[in-house]
A = this chain, B = another copy of it.
Amino acid sequence: MNFVSDNAYGAAPEILAAIAAANEDTAPPYGRDAVTARLKGIFSNLFERDVSVFPVITGTAANALSLSTLVPPYGAIFCHTDSHIAVDECGAPEFYAHGAKLIPIDGSEAKLSPPALETAISRLRKGDPHSVQPAAVSVTQATERGTVYSVDEIKAISGIARSHGMKLHMDGARFANAVAHLRCSAADITWRAGVDALSFGATKNGALGAEAVVFFDSALVGDFEYRRMKGGHLLSKTRFVSAQLEAYVSHDLWLRQAARANALAQKLAQALREISNIEIATAPQANAVFARMPNEMVKRLRKAGAQFYEWENPQDGKTVIRLVTSFATPEQSIAGFLAAVKG
């Protein structure tokens, strides 16, 4: 009963098979191989537009490298207070962007709201060298709270970004879960809504370790390839990362797996809601359920072998726990969890 994180689960069989297939022959190193060469076509097809795509191995690398490409050292990156780049990457974006500044903004459901964003931007003095300058906005899709920005919400944010000459970055560590929820095309929720660069995650949804940085305008790629190398993120056997990405987006594997994870979260949330004493503030849209329940219930679940994070410190005898489902979470884990919660 592992609900700790989707990255507690391993790799999908299709991913492992793709790695084995890529192992057949010799290949030029450092991404000059045939599999990597195919990625451009595959992702351009997926996003219905000519895109630039670069495989990397972690979400933090994808975020920090793409942001540092978009933002100067004196730039400000607006993001949500709870965003991964703000609280879970040990300052990687600041390191890669040579001391650029993240401006954290509060907002319900882990989402940036347009008015709060405008207020935060207005606090910087444009053209004054004493002040970092508005450079980028970063949104997480799906959010760290299991919610999903609608196309209109992204458009509202990109509109603000544009009006201030800023770029829009999307941390898509759980992009598949967002698209599976929205049932829109990958294009609709990215470049058509004004996104400039996407950290397209595969690791949490069934890859061994594979993320793609996607730029929707080749003019923005800039010195990305040098930054990736300088950060030690160009793999000699890049083909094995590219093979994972290829398999991941082939035959809708990414969406099928995400849809399964989402459905399990929905199912779990629905069942938990019917139990008295459990509150679920936000209906899960992606693959995470945040449930507030009595401390003794938490204890009972632990005893039964359920694994999960306590998201906030206990208050008034109750604790908020986070339950993340994945493409590979067994149905029995859901059943077992519900049995245990009922005691």
Chain A 194-233 per-residue mask, 1 if CB under 8 angstroms from chain B, else 0: 0000000001100011000000000000010111111111
Q: Give Cα A102 to B103, complex, Å.
A: 10
Q: Is the CB of A102 within 8 A of B99?
A: no
Q: Which residues of A (232-270) have their CB < 8 Å from a CB of B?
A: 232-237, 240-241
Chain A 105-145 per-residue mask, 1 if CB under 8 angstroms from chain B, else 0: 00000000000000000010000011111000000000000
Q: Is A37 an interface residue (CB 8 A)?
A: no
Q: Is A58 an interface residue (CB 8 A)?
A: yes
Q: Is A100 an interface residue (CB 8 A)?
A: yes
Q: Is the CB of A92 within 8 A of B229?
A: yes
Q: Is A150 an interface residue (CB 8 A)?
A: no
Chain A 46-57 per-residue mask, 1 if CB under 8 angstroms from chain B, else 0: 000000000011
Partner of A90, one of B11, B88, B230: B230
Q: Give Cα A129 to B208, complex, Å.
A: 21
Contact partners of A11 in chain B: CB under 8 A: 19, 23, 237, 240
Q: Is the CB of A232 within 8 A of B28?
A: no
Q: Is A191 an interface residue (CB 8 A)?
A: no
Give the top 9 A-B pairs by smallest Cβ distance, nearest first.
A61-B232, A95-B99, A74-B226, A60-B232, A10-B23, A94-B99, A7-B236, A129-B229, A2-B26
Each complex incorporates copies of this chain amounting to 4
Q: Is A44 an interface residue (CB 8 A)?
A: no
Q: Can you list 12 residue pairs at the A/B interface with Cβ under 8 Å?
A: A5-B29, A11-B23, A59-B236, A61-B231, A73-B226, A89-B230, A89-B232, A94-B101, A95-B99, A129-B226, A129-B228, A130-B229
Shortest Cβ distance from residue A304 to the other chain B in the assembled complex, whole angstroms? 16
Say yes or no: A99-B10 contact (C-beta < 8 A), given A16-B23, A90-B129. no
Say yes or no: A90-B74 contact (C-beta < 8 A), given A58-B232, A231-B231, A233-B58. yes
Q: Is the CB of B133 within 8 A of A226?
A: yes
Partner of A209, one of B25, B231, B235: B235
Say yes or no: A58-B236 contact (C-beta < 8 A), given A9-B26, A22-B10, A94-B94. yes
Q: Is the CB of B240 within 8 A of A208?
A: yes
Say yes or no: A72-B226 contact (C-beta < 8 A), given A90-B130, A98-B98, A99-B95. yes
Q: Is A311 an interface residue (CB 8 A)?
A: no
Q: Give Cα A65 to B94, complex, Å.
A: 17
Shortest Cβ distance from residue A312 to the other chain B in the assembled complex, whole angstroms? 11
Contact partners of A59 in chain B: CB under 8 A: 236
Closest residue on chain B to residue A29 by CB atoms = B7
Q: Is A91 an interface residue (CB 8 A)?
A: yes
Inter-chain pairs besides A8-B29, A129-B229, A209-B236, 7 sampled, C-beta below 8 Å:
A10-B27, A57-B235, A95-B99, A95-B231, A99-B230, A203-B236, A209-B237
